[in-house]
Structure 1
Amino acid sequence: MENREKFTAKHNELQNCKKLIEFKNVYKSYGSNKVLNGISFTIKRGENLVILGKSGSGKSVTVKCLVGLTKVDKGEIFISGKDITKLDEEGLNRIRMKIGFLFQNGALYDSMTVRENLVFTLQHNNKMLTEQEIETAVKEALQNVGLEEAIDLLPAELSGGMRKRIGLARALIIKPEIIIYDEPTGGLDTITAREIIGLIRNIKLKYNTSSIIITHDLTCAKYTGDRVIVLKDGLIKAEGSYKGIENNADNWVRSFFEK
């Protein structure tokens, strides 16, 4: 009996080590508007999770809860085994330093060059780096997105696709454990969107990052997501592989994939 208990404890410990993010029965309302109604899901280390859902389904609020920008009404959210709902602002900031963001519009500072945008983000996360370490990190981040030649350009001199790639370089420069992609292919032409999809896949392979990808682009969802969840009215309506959800028995879920 004792050996079985030790085995069970060890098994649970190993399973928990695989979980980087875990939502447990999370609720969030704004007044009478119930946005999240008890969602639960996990993301393993090195896994990309795609979140699909119509406007108002709770996608953005899920991310805000994850990074502590909004407090949950009920439930628990674990990152690396720590319940962030119980952390103070200092504790949340330490967690946020593990998270990189790619915003829909790139969100670069217009008055700064590409180099300055990257350095600003890097120094905000780590003020102890030497000039050589900063220079090496900037070059590596730009190499990852294939834009070394853009280092001294201003955002106004970049195309939409280039701004998105620089935004991704900025997310990568802090060497995050988690990356949150907000509509990574939104507003891009087909060829550029395909390039961004390729970058997302390569980054996961190179750095073993875990990611949440919020997207309306089904091609992006299909080729970047290891797993997909579909939100409806603050609940998880479906969860599984892209192919499995595409062939879901529920008419509402299948409606996402109708041309």
Structure 2
Amino acid sequence: MIKEENITTEATKTDNKQAIIEIKDLHKTFGKNNHVLKGVDFVVYKGEDLVVLGRSGSGKSVTIKCIVGLIQPDKGEINVFGENILELPKAELNEMRVKIGFLFQSGALYDSMIVRENLAFTLRKHKRDLKPEEVEKEVIEALDNVGLSEAIDKMPSELSGGMRKRIGLARTLILKPEIILYDEPTTGLDTITSREISELILDIKHKRKTTSIIITHDMACAKLTADRIIVLKEGKIQAEGTYEELEKSEDEWVRSFFE
């Protein structure tokens, strides 16, 4: 369904793996006493789908919003492709952001635009030299990639929750990002649609060779998509491992996610 692409990056190598994202000692406090992140450290390797679990308020979404600059951390480093994005000038940061796709919980579509216009708007914003026929071709291809080419002239209000998620993902994919950050991609969806979205995440990984962080409460999604899982507790990493390893954790709190 999705076309193969050769994506190359320059990143540090650790144990023969390329570290695409490196988070070091990340801290974030809101107000005076709401300490959301308290020294988070982790690495995401090239081609890996890393799932982040944690209770509400544990800092999962704040972490990935820091990676794309939607939230500024108080302390720490965020290295993406070997560059500390917290030190990049605005122009270079904007170039980096094009390589990072972000799928919001809601899909974040513009309600006043039909699907075609939603995708074309994103494309024109970043690739202004494209001709109208080239934009149309890219829009059709992106929709075909998520199996919704027939929705091209529909308004967001005409779409189901699962369709909105797919369109949101198509809009993310249209810029051909090397990294995709998924914020609760299956929340609010029924079991069957949730599995379809999870399978689409896997399809994207295998065909586009993307590197992803997936924030989720959906353990079925985590089991299907995760190469590795980290568990956040009160702003710190409590555990790390595969689904099977954490399912058998000696830590009762960690194990409770898998019961």
Q: TM-score, normalised by structure 2?
A: 0.91
Q: CA deviation at 1:206?
A: 0.7
Q: Against the structure 1 CA distance between its residues 234 and 179, is the aligned structure 2 distance closer, same or farther, given a 3 Å change threshold?
A: same
- Aligned residue number for residue 24 of structure 1: 24
Q: Against the structure 1 CA distance between its residues 45 and 65, is the aligned structure 2 distance closer, same or farther, given a 3 Å change threshold?
A: same
Q: Which runs of 4+ in 1 moved over 6 A?
A: none
For residues 208-228 of structure 1, give each alpha carbon's deviation from its aligned partner in whole angstroms, at most 9, with x where no partner exists.
111111110000001011111
- Aligned residue number for residue 86 of structure 2: 85
Aligned partners of 2:76 and 2:156: how far apart in 1?
40
SS of structure 2 residue aligned to 1:111: coil
Amino acid across the alignment from 1:60: S
Aligned partners of 2:188 and 2:253: how far apart in 1?
26
Q: Which blocks of at least 5 consecutive residues in structure 1 are unaligned?
A: 1-11
Q: CA deviation at 1:45?
A: 1.2
Q: CA deviation at 1:70?
A: 2.1
Amino acid across the alignment from 1:118: L
28-37 vs 242-251, which moves further? 28-37
- Aligned residue number for residue 228 of structure 1: 229
CA RMSD of aligned residues (A): 1.5
Instruction: Map residues 56-205 of structure 1 onto 2, 5 A cutoff.
Output: 56-205=57-206
Q: Which blocks of at least 5 consecutive residues in structure 2 are unaligned?
A: 1-10
Instruction: Map residues 200-211 of structure 1 onto 2, 5 A cutoff.
Output: 200-211=201-212
Q: CA deviation at 1:17?
A: 7.1
Q: CA deviation at 1:44?
A: 0.9
Contact map agreement 2:12 2:19 (CA 8 A) in 1: no
Indicate yes or no: 2:14 matched with 1:33: no
Aligned partners of 1:80 and 1:173: how far apart in 2?
21
Indicate yes or no: 2:29 matched with 1:52: no
- Aligned residue number for residue 7 of structure 1: none
- Aligned residue number for residue 5 of structure 2: none
Aligned partners of 1:123 and 1:131: how far apart in 2?
9
Q: CA deviation at 1:189?
A: 1.0
Q: CA deviation at 1:68?
A: 1.5
Q: CA deviation at 1:133?
A: 2.0
Contact map agreement 2:27 2:37 (CA 8 A) in 1: yes
Q: Against the structure 1 CA distance between its residues 198 and 152, is the aligned structure 2 distance closer, same or farther, given a 3 Å change threshold?
A: same
Aligned partners of 1:257 and 1:197: how far apart in 2?
18
SS of structure 1 residue aligned to 2:78: strand
Whichever structure has more helix as a proportion of its residues is: 1
| Identity %, equivalent residues | 61
Q: CA deviation at 1:129?
A: 1.3
Aligned partners of 2:125 and 2:247: how far apart in 1?
42
